[in-house]
Amino acid sequence: MKLGRALLVVIGLAVAWAVLTVAIWFATGFGSTAFFARMDHPVHLWFSTFTMVLGWVSLGSYLLVTGLILRKMLR
């Protein structure tokens, strides 16, 4: 029973993380393309780096939160 609930939590968190990450990447990428790339402004390179770092930070946060929740649930 605990394992089933833990699996549902992991799946739910994975879906939430994926949706949030894609939304942030899309919004930031759209913003950098719409406002800076057409003007040949170098700031769009900063946005690309920012989205990459944000992706790794969000993945690390997801893994940390999932690990802590599973540890508590399966104890």
Whole-model pTM: value is 0.57
Sequence-distant (≥ 6) Cβ neighbours of residue 61 within 8 angstroms? none
pLDDT, tens digit, 9 for 90 and up, residues 1-44: 778 888 888 888 888 888 887 787 777 666 666 666 566 666 66
- CA 71 and chain centroid, separation: 22
What does the alpha-carbon distance between residue 46 and residue 53 come to, in Å, rounded to a whole number? 11
What's the pLDDT at 52? 76
Distances (CA, A) of 36 to 10, 32, 41, 52: 38, 5, 5, 18
Q: Please name the residues in contact with 57: beta carbons below 8 A apart, sequence gap of 6 or more.
A: none
pLDDT digits (tens, 9 = 90+) for 41-61: 666 666 677 777 877 888 888
